[in-house]
Structure 1
Amino acid sequence: MAGTIVVERTDTIQTTPEALLPYIAELPRWVDWSPWEGMDPALKREYTGEPGTVGSTYAWSGNRKAGAGRMRIESVEPDGVGVALDFTRPFRSSSHVRFLLSPEGDRTRVIWRMESAKTFFSRFFNLDKLIGPDFEKGLRQLKQLVEA
């Protein structure tokens, strides 16, 4: 079952790419805007490495809703952040996530993009409909946080 599934959402935030970069690259800061925060009040988190640098990680383990997995920063550049995302529960999957940042006047266009290989699981679930609304919520919350 060859092929790739892409989920992508976009928003603009009133700030510069440089000011926005730490909110995305520093994984401990995701607790302030991630759309998945609050799914499990007892969520276990573990961070390794220097926040905002290539190789830093965030691993989580939670209830059925939160699942378990790991994110690893793959790249941090002025125009964005690359993240390797691996879920171990409720199902195994690996994706490549990219946040693309481009200046538009006094604002920054943020594109949150996830690419995953097509799997048996993806035949039964529309990942865009499943994850797209979460990306929209996360971008809204990031915007509220940064523009506050």
Structure 2
Amino acid sequence: MSTITVERRVHVEAPPAAVLPHLADLTRWRSWSPWEGADPDLHREYTGDPGSVGATYAWSGNRKAGAGTMRVTEVDPSGVGIALDFTKPFRSSNVIRFDLTPSGTGTGPGTDVVWRMESPRTFMTRIFPLEKLVGPDFEKGLRQLKATVERG
């Protein structure tokens, strides 16, 4: 089965070590995730050691928020890997990767952050193109991540 890749990037004026915890610790996503606020009554459950491989986040909410789980599969200085499984509004298993590349393009040490999702090409992705569905969300999330990290 072929896959669809959605990818967005941002430059953060902070070293990779300052960005990494905001991505690896799923409890910290509440400060920057583009989907925060989609359901004010969202049910969340976290398991495992935050920021470590195997840590999980499960959510269940309204139609807009849907339901699913994220599990950290990789954490190293170059980035974070996450297995993302949706159960609502439709089932889908995806691979998320955040790549962190040191970059000195600003006034100090910086990081180029790439947020990439690979998803199987299915009947549903033909009806609802992922690029249009999640691309703008990734852009919003990366802007919010940048602001959160740069605020310290």
TM over 0.5: yes
- CA–CA distance in 2 between the matches of 1:75 and 1:144? 24
Alignment pair present for 1:31 and 2:30: yes
- In structure 1, stretches of 5+ residues that fail to align are none
Alignment partner, residue 89 of structure 1: 88
Q: 1:112 is matched by which residue type in structure 2?
A: W
Aligned residues: 147
- In structure 2, stretches of 5+ residues that fail to align are none
Alignment partner, residue 118 of structure 2: 115
TM-fit CA distance, 1:126: 1.4
- CA–CA distance in 2 between the matches of 1:126 and 1:60? 23
- CA–CA distance in 2 between the matches of 1:123 and 1:28? 32
Q: How does 1:1-148 map to 2 (within 5 A)?
A: 2-105=1-104, 106-148=109-151
TM-score when normalising by structure 1: 0.98
- Equivalent position SS for 1:29: helix
TM-fit CA distance, 1:19: 1.1
- Percentage of matched positions with identical amino acids: 64
Q: 1:75 is matched by which residue type in structure 2?
A: E
TM-fit CA distance, 1:123: 1.4
TM-fit CA distance, 1:115: 0.2
Q: 1:7 is matched by which residue type in structure 2?
A: V
**RMSD, aligned CA:** 0.6
Q: 2:10 is matched by which residue type in structure 1?
A: D
TM-fit CA distance, 1:125: 1.8
